[in-house]
Chain A
């Protein structure tokens, strides 16, 4: 994968997160502690700052670089969770991924997030987007990009009726029902940004 493509993909994710910071914070204010947008914005601003150096590296190292930056800069629970995702993705992905190797690396990254958060799908977290998207990637087939994009958005919406069982939203119990999960939303935004950036 050439440097321009790496730069475009990482930049697309970062710009989307930064552009939606207020929306993410507002979602988090409803069921969490209201810092998700701000934390993610801080992390991805640092990613943008490091982007020229990051994008110059092969894809595995570039993704690990993004992960390390997020771990160190985001704070909150989302820093180590997203950081772990990108670190694990970078550890498994080849420099020139195919649909198959991407699916494998994405699945490994999702497993790493499960271990870090001690969580599973169905608990109103980012995993409720990452797990179904991993399934679409693993199944493969035609029009993969548009299907991944649609799945990510639908899966984030599907967290609305869920009851939170992890993180601070879990303190709200039943009251967490009726709001989308901010982490699921930020995951969907990033996945959509990548799909759009590769023209899928």
Chain B
């Protein structure tokens, strides 16, 4: 029996703070291991608190897999900037990247756990979003 090589959905963490983003990524790594491509970004172009579309695009690129990428964000601007970044991707990738409506730390851990089992993009997103109040 031949088995398709497993390609897991990647996870990107976007916070206003590079420390929050890095800390959330540390937790994902410790709890889920190396099975999931993971990238994080935090802070604006000047190194202050904020988010940066160019840095988000670079993080999507680092976490990219053909299975797609989910993005976990913290506050308002991180979401808006992430959605902007997704729209700026080339057409082939745009439909495979999804911003999750979920708390950043818990969402990243759940998404990565789900992704590590080989779940498709839609399922990874849905599991993370179950954490949000409906």
Given the interface contacts A35-B50, A42-B45, does A75 sit within 8 Å of B77 by beta carbon?
A: yes
- C-alpha gap A168/B79 in the complex (Å): 12
Mask: chain B, 70-105; 1 = CB below 8 Å from A; 0 = not: 000001110011011000100000000000000000
Contacting pair B44 A71 (CB below 8 A): no
Min Cβ gap B63→A in Å is: 20
Residues of chain B with a CB closer than 8 A to A78's CB: 77
Contacting pair A117 B50 (CB below 8 A): no
Q: Is A65 an interface residue (CB 8 A)?
A: no
How many inter-chain residue pairs (CB < 8 Å) link A and B? Answer: 57
Mostly, the A contact residues are helix
Q: Is A83 an interface residue (CB 8 A)?
A: yes
Residues of chain A with a CB closer than 8 A to B46's CB: 42, 75
Which A residues form the contact surface with B (CB < 8 A)? 33, 35, 38-39, 42, 71-73, 75-81, 83-84, 116-117, 166-168
- C-alpha gap A136/B94 in the complex (Å): 36
Most chain B beta carbons < 10 A, residue from A72, A116, A167: A72
Contacting pair A71 B84 (CB below 8 A): yes
5 A-B pairs besides A38-B48, A75-B77 with CB distance below 8 A are A39-B44, A79-B53, A79-B80, A80-B53, A117-B80
- C-alpha gap A84/B81 in the complex (Å): 11
Contacting pair A168 B76 (CB below 8 A): yes
Residues of chain B with a CB closer than 8 A to A39's CB: 44, 50
